[in-house]
A and B are shown apart, each in its own frame.
Chain A
Amino acid sequence: MEVKDIFSYDWSYLLPEFIILGFATGLSLLDLFAGKRLGKQAIGLLSLVGVLLATTFVFVNMTTLDQPYSYMADMIRIDDYGNAFKLLFLGGTAFTILISLSYLNQGEVAHRGEYYYLLLSGLLGAMVMASSADLITMFVGLELLSLSSYVLVGMRKKSLHSNESAFKYVVSGSIATAVTLFGMSYVYGLTGTTNIYEISQRLAEAGMMGYQFIIYMAFAFLAVGLAFKISAAPNHMWAPDVYQGAPTPVTAFLAVVSKAAGFSLVFRLLLISFLQVPSAEGPFFFVQGSLYLGLIAAASMIIGNTMALKQTNVKRMMAYSGIAQAGYLLVPFSPPTTLFFSEVIFYLFGYLLVSFGAFAVIMAVAKEQQTEDLKGFAGLYHRSPVMAISMTIFLLSLAGIPISVGFFGKFYLFMGALAQENYWLSGVMIVTSVVSYYYYFGIIRQMYMRSGESEAPLAVPRGIWLLVLLLAIATVFFGVFPGLVTDYIQVNFNPAFDFGNMLPS
């Protein structure tokens, strides 16, 4: 490729990424040279501006691009699939910054500037993951997100938990990365290319030529390695420790943005690469692949929901809850249909609203009680009815009880699974959901049925209070009118393009 070829692309479609990159580097320089003179919140607010600006340009791309736009043979690919995920990442990061503005006032994190531009670089990694169709760029995005997250987790420098969790995260994350890379090397070895659309065809040929075993190995390694990012079994063990040790806004970032980024990668990489591989019993992906992913989903739901029962630390509980949610999100993938995209985006959208709401409440309560123990929630209803009722709505949504966005999300996933006559997985989903009632209602019991040490009103920063209230209203609103979101997805995103119309409807 020559230099003039590179300039012949229309780079304006990459503006969202450039803006985030520019803000991340710009803010780090600003922090370096003028950090002392700026107000405490300045860098946070500026990074929020960057995120919003990038979001605007994603919307611009959505309206101006009818077809996927490809840079350098799909190294970067701007398409509906990626845009939908990017909106989720940007929204999630915006919420992270919003709750961070209040969290950082607690003074546990010494380097505010660093915190924000690391968030932005993590976001950039996620965005690259969602909009690449090449193993190299996918991996670069993955690493950018991972490395930023490792540092963010350890930001509470004086906290033992934070240090421990950062260390665990680095070690287990590196192992997962190694496993992923190992799987990629199999794929490259078989196909000689890193473009996943070419991989798709060549793997199909390789499958017909009798390289089944190596293909299965590649699939297994990729799935296990990538399970780390979405905190699904068998690579979920890091989540409770890391969630507990990380600063709460970072926990929320990991739970939503990092997880959604993982999903965007898993879906695109595994689905396109392996979709056309044949096997003796039928298409590999719809027979063995789906079963394998179904088992991962079932294991995640079972492990997440049963381990959560025993937790006394709220953030650990949310980590196990997150493992179970990852399991739910894999359900539409086994086997996939064209509906899967809309199901996943809707579910992630709901999960985004609810998670940030829940973590914001957890943050407010934990700060005041100086403990993240479940007992800290005791009597919350008497101390701050708005926080308690909002938290109840978030928990009901996570448990999948109407009327909430989480209920419809689950209903939608569930419907997809039953439409595929995947009865065993639907059964696991229902039973583990009911098990999850127990621990979600455990928090509710604390809030309403126990008396706390004090009855004094809970001091909640005004911004957090407003954010929680709005998120609670949104959770109910989109539970009553889920059609607004599903219609939006349907009208604006047509992922059939991105999957080459290869999925059955």
Chain B
Amino acid sequence: MDLVNSILLSVLVFSPVLAILVMAFIPQHQGGVIKKVGVLGTLLPLLLSLYLFASFHYGSSNLQFVEKYDWISIPISFDQAGNPYGLEINYELGVDGVSMPLLVLTAIIATLAAVASWQIKKRLKEFFILFHVLLIGMLGVFAADNLFLFFIFFEMTLVPMFFLVGIWGYGEREKAANKFLLYNGIGSGIMLIAFIVLYLLLQTMNMEQISNALTTAGHPVASAITPELRFGLFLALFIAFAIKLPVFPFHTWMLKVHVQAPPSIVMIHSGILLKMGAYGVLRMGIGFFPEQAYQFATWLAVLGIINILYGAVLAYVQKDLKMVLAYSSISHMGIVLLGFAAMNTIGFQGAMFQIVSHGFISALLFFLIGVIWDRTQTSMIDELGGLAKSMPFVSGILLAGGMASLGLPGMSGFISEFFAFLGLFGKLPVMAVVGALGIVLTAVYLLRAILRTTFGPTPDRFNRLADAQPMEVIPMVVLLGFIILIGVYPAILGNPLQQTLKTIVPIVTGIGG
């Protein structure tokens, strides 16, 4: 069993390779087979991640399923005995309570997005191969315990996304793909600077060691780092991940991608890729530099509130359902920032709940938009309307998804907002009050958008739309199921988070007060 556990994480991360290899040998024209392999291929990582989740020890805050192999050594010079020595970069994987749920989230959303990709009509083989490469990158990001490896996986999501948006997207797909590439390229560049400076300072790229070194008082090497440099590094990491999250004013690329990418890719993008930014802020921004994060908390809250209100107000005036949801995502990511700004266990928990919950909710909503677009060829609110008559099931799920998004109790959105604001009230009550306005606005814009599409008079051409097909029902039901599961039984997510967050928080609060 030990042997299995010792390679399990690598097997999980690289399991999509199997599907890629199988697909490479299927002729292009056998679209049906490719689709099946594409979906079945995602089941392997899903099963593995669920197994991992089941055998994860909640009680421990340590990294689990750790793997470590020597990888690259960069020679620097010769020591006195004439032997070369240099910096080491290792292949290191490991999961803790924060990354474990995100791995499962990734695997679930990926499977459902693969199912949603049944709408894809052209160049199926390339689509599913790139999809699986993207999946490797995403799984790797959450499993990596080494900055170099993290960076490589992070960049590995860049190229497939460029193609997936640029080839299979809607009208202005290439512009969206370019914008995605350039913004994220800049973000990665800033991240790389911070990573290398950390490496040069601490002579290691292991994330756990870096975090330990930086947070241990009187550490021989790390204590020599000046507060200014620490703050600079914190800021660099924050900006790098803020572009991904995205935080206002770095959000414009994300709107383009949301609108132009095919629905299944938006599910992935909104459901997982944005979360890599949030994960980075927590794991590296706050995890490495708790003191600086604590000083920066007020600004985090301000940025969070800007995101919430800006997203909500602009979501209200959008004419395109996709744009409404894109701005809604910005608004919801603001809540993640507020949770971080709270700097306590409850707040962090709220942020993490929001990450997972929004992953499911936005995946569900974008999936539904895909379904609607498939039938009506539009996502403009004005052109839609009265869909409830012809597509009662889809409309019902859409309403349920909207309710989850605006934080109806009993669904996951409620838990996360509740925790995030509860945490923030303990630290910055005024900010929390202002931020809570966003919840009201969320209700306004979501209900406006959803009611206008589903109720009211049905245009004649939409009288005979087909309701959801079995292949479409599965993702809807599964996603809604998870949303309600987390809503009524939050412990399923709370338990693994608890221990890990408990190790981060005392460091943060221990410094701050």
Contacts and interface: CB of A to CB of B under 8 A. Distances in A.
Contacts of A9: none
A42 interface: no
Interface in A330-356: 338-339, 342
B166 A445 contact: yes
A433 B186 CA distance: 9
A69 interface: no
Interface string B403-422: 00000000000000000000
B492 interface: no
A418 B74 contact: no
A403 B156 contact: yes
Interface stretch (B193-201, B260-268, B447-455): B193-201
B196 A430 contact: no
Given A414-B196, A445-B166, A434 B182 contact: yes
A419 interface: yes
B340 interface: no
Contacts of A441: 162, 178, 181
Given A402-B156, A438-B178, A441-B181, A483 B151 contact: no
A431 B189 contact: yes
Contact of B152 (A403, A426, A489): A403
B217 interface: no
B456 interface: no
Contacts of A412: 74
A437 interface: yes
The prevalent SS among residues of B at the interface is helix
A505 interface: yes
B151 A402 contact: yes
A427 B236 CA distance: 12
Given A402-B156, A490-B86, A437 B75 contact: no
B167 A401 contact: no
B44 interface: no
B74 A448 contact: no
A433 B158 CA distance: 15
A122 B164 CA distance: 46
B380 to A, nearest CB: 26
Nearest to B194: A418
A487 B74 CA distance: 8
A431 B200 CA distance: 21
B76 interface: yes
Contact of B185 (A414, A434, A449, A491): A434
Interface in B25-79: 71-78
A465 interface: no
Contacts of B185: 433-434, 437
Contacts of A438: 178, 181-182
A294 interface: no
Given A430-B190, A483-B72, A418 B197 contact: yes
Contacts of B181: 437-438, 441
B174 A449 contact: yes
A26 B477 CA distance: 79
B253 to A, nearest CB: 13
B174 A396 contact: no
B192 A489 contact: no
Interface string A480-501: 0111001101110010100000
A338 B77 contact: yes
Contacts of A186: none
A411 interface: yes
Interface string B304-339: 000000000000000000000000000000000000
B156 to A, nearest CB: 7
A433 B188 CA distance: 11
B200 A339 contact: no
Contacts of A434: 182, 185-186, 189
B472 interface: no
Nearest to B77: A505
B159 interface: yes
B84 interface: yes
A295 interface: no
Interface in A367-387: none
Contacts of B296: none
Q: Give the size category of A's interface with B.
A: 35 or more
A418 B192 CA distance: 11
B462 interface: no
Interface string B65-104: 0000001111111100000101000000000000000000
Interface in A417-449: 418-419, 426-427, 430-431, 433-434, 437-438, 441, 445, 448-449
Contacts of B156: 402-403
A487 B73 contact: yes
B122 to A, nearest CB: 12
Contact of B189 (A433, A448, A487, A494): A433
A420 to B, nearest CB: 10
Given A483-B73, A487-B75, A491-B84, A402 B155 contact: yes
Nearest to B88: A483
Contacts of B199: 415
Contact of A449 (B76, B78, B159, B167): B167
A403 B151 CA distance: 10
B136 to A, nearest CB: 11
Contacts of A342: 75
Given A445-B166, A445-B174, A487-B73, A401 B158 contact: yes
A441 B158 CA distance: 12
Contact of A430 (B72, B84, B166, B189): B189
Contacts of B482: none
A253 to B, nearest CB: 30
Contacts of A403: 152, 156
A419 B391 CA distance: 62
B174 A418 contact: no
B163 interface: yes
Contacts of A411: 192, 196
Nearest to B181: A437
Contacts of A419: 200
Given A402-B156, A415-B199, A437-B182, A483 B192 contact: no
Nearest to B166: A449
A483 B86 CA distance: 11
Given A402-B151, A402-B155, A430-B190, A483 B71 contact: yes
A123 to B, nearest CB: 29
Contact of A414 (B71, B78, B186, B192): B192
B72 A482 contact: yes
A87 to B, nearest CB: 17
A408 B106 CA distance: 28
B364 to A, nearest CB: 30
B209 to A, nearest CB: 18
Contacts of A482: 72
A449 B169 CA distance: 11
B149 to A, nearest CB: 10
Contacts of B71: 483
Interface string A222-262: 00000000000000000000000000000000000000000
A306 B155 CA distance: 23
A339 B193 CA distance: 19
B80 to A, nearest CB: 13
Interface string B193-213: 100110110000000000000
A475 to B, nearest CB: 14
The 6 closest A-B pairs by CB, nearest first: A490-B75, A430-B189, A434-B185, A483-B72, A402-B152, A490-B84
28 contacts: A338-B77, A339-B77, A402-B156, A408-B72, A419-B200, A426-B193, A430-B189, A430-B190, A430-B193, A433-B185, A434-B189, A437-B182, A445-B166, A448-B163, A448-B167, A449-B166, A449-B167, A449-B174, A482-B72, A486-B72, A486-B86, A487-B75, A487-B84, A489-B75, A490-B75, A494-B78, A505-B76, A505-B77
Given A418-B200, A490-B75, 6 more contacts: A414-B193, A430-B189, A434-B182, A434-B185, A481-B72, A490-B84
